Structure 1
Amino acid sequence: MSEKNTLPGWMKWWFVASALIQTWDASFIWLRPHSLPGGKLHSLWKPYALYIDIDLRYGDLDDSFGLAQSLLNFAEVILLVVALIMNSQNHRCTTVTSFTVSTMTFWKTVLYFVMSTSLVNGSNMIGTSDPLKLIFLFLIPNGVWLLLPALSMISLGNRLAEPLENTQKSKKKQR
């Protein structure tokens, strides 16, 4: 297999984990109220009983932003699966597809953080003023969705930039 068309092992694992977690997460949102504590499906989402006390958007059945970002989760899952299939076939578009989905995940998460701040009157969606709860139950878990996509973007961006650099070097040599 050509290395330029395959993903590093860590990124494949991240894409698989991301697809599973995003499917689970978006399903929680779309299956409310059944996925909420007391709902008939809640046993599949027990950790959310704690999380919805911190991120109030997850318990708010009327929050259209939460629904919209969950639809984007499903779109990302489809692209993650496509990227993994392309990777297994050594497809020439693996890198650009993977870069695209990583960028989508990164910026959707940035938007999610912004929507949870006073900048856009979203701080009412954070259900704690306890800094430790905020750090360990909101910032760190959600920060992973910034860190790993950013690392993927850097890795894949370098790969995408290489042919451009080679072309520029060739043109300089020809002069």
Structure 2
Amino acid sequence: MAPKSYSLVTLWFVVAGTIVLWDSTYALMRPRSLAGGDLRWMWKFYDIYEKIDKVYDPALFSAGDGFLPSIAVLNITEVLLSFLYIYGVYVASWDVAPLIGFTSATITLSKTALYCLQEYFCGLCTVGHNDSNDIFTYWLGPNILWAGACFLITLKLGSDIASSLKKTKGKTE
């Protein structure tokens, strides 16, 4: 049986995946993606982000901090799973596609929770220097959107997985 397709899940995975790949390449291409680097033109928007969120601050890169590139590697894994889900649903009709999408959304949700918990436990050490409008616009708002979308995806795909397991259980009894 072909897995159910959800256009909003697919749209989210395509749009979010594109943004996340762009962000990951920024982290992994440093110092070339930093101000003064030959590839900076692709990440000009990061002039703002480097000031808002110190995780992106070039000083942390210079100090050898590995958090952002570590997250970038997880980001690439997440995006590959998202695109594999889309392929599995629309091209290959894989029964396992909902599990792949669920896993991708769970990784995203976990990473977003990690970012937020890090900020909570360090006393807003990377974004606390901003005014409340900037924190909401550039940090909290996007994190709420990311976590909310992924939470809803895990609910929808998790429901499909549970339903499939119930059907399989009934066939084996």
The TM-score normalised by the length of structure 2 is 0.87
Q: Is the 8 A contact 1:53 1:127 kept in 2?
A: no
Q: Give the match for residue 140 of structure 1.
A: 141
SS where residue 124 of structure 1 aligns? coil
For structure 1, list consecutive stretches of 5 or more residues without a partner in the other structure: none
Question: What is the identity percentage for the equivalent residue pairs of Structure 1 and Structure 2?
Answer: 30
Q: Give the match for residue 17 of structure 2.
A: 19
Aligned counterparts of 1:144 and 1:92: Cα–Cα separation in 2: 28
Q: Is the 8 A contact 1:6 1:90 kept in 2?
A: no
Bigger radius of gyration among the two: 1
Change (3 A) 1:28 1:167: closer
Displacement after TM superposition at 1:36 (Å): 1.7
Aligned counterparts of 1:77 and 1:165: Cα–Cα separation in 2: 29
Aligned counterparts of 1:27 and 1:128: Cα–Cα separation in 2: 26
Aligned counterparts of 1:122 and 1:27: Cα–Cα separation in 2: 28
Q: Is the 8 A contact 1:22 1:73 kept in 2?
A: yes
Displacement after TM superposition at 1:7 (Å): 2.5
1:113 maps to a residue whose letter is C
- Cα deviation, 1:63-107, whole Å, max 9, x if unaligned, reads 211111111001112111211111122111111111111111111
Q: Give the match for residue 115 of structure 1.
A: 118
Q: Is the 8 A contact 1:98 1:156 kept in 2?
A: yes
Asked if residue 91 in structure 1 is aligned to residue 105 in structure 2, the reply is no
Aligned counterparts of 1:163 and 1:87: Cα–Cα separation in 2: 15
Asked if residue 56 in structure 1 is aligned to residue 54 in structure 2, the reply is yes
Change (3 A) 1:30 1:105: same
- Cα deviation, 1:1-50, whole Å, max 9, x if unaligned, reads 84xx0320011111111221111001001111221222221111111110
SS where residue 84 of structure 1 aligns? helix
For structure 2, list consecutive stretches of 5 or more residues without a partner in the other structure: none
Q: Give the match for residue 104 of structure 2.
A: 101
Q: Give the match for residue 130 of structure 2.
A: 129
Q: Give the match for residue 46 of structure 1.
A: 44
Change (3 A) 1:122 1:57: farther
Displacement after TM superposition at 1:143 (Å): 2.1
Deviating beyond 6 angstroms after TM superposition, the runs of 4 or more aligned structure 1 residues are none
Displacement after TM superposition at 1:125 (Å): 1.6
Displacement after TM superposition at 1:166 (Å): 5.4
2:144 maps to a residue whose letter is G
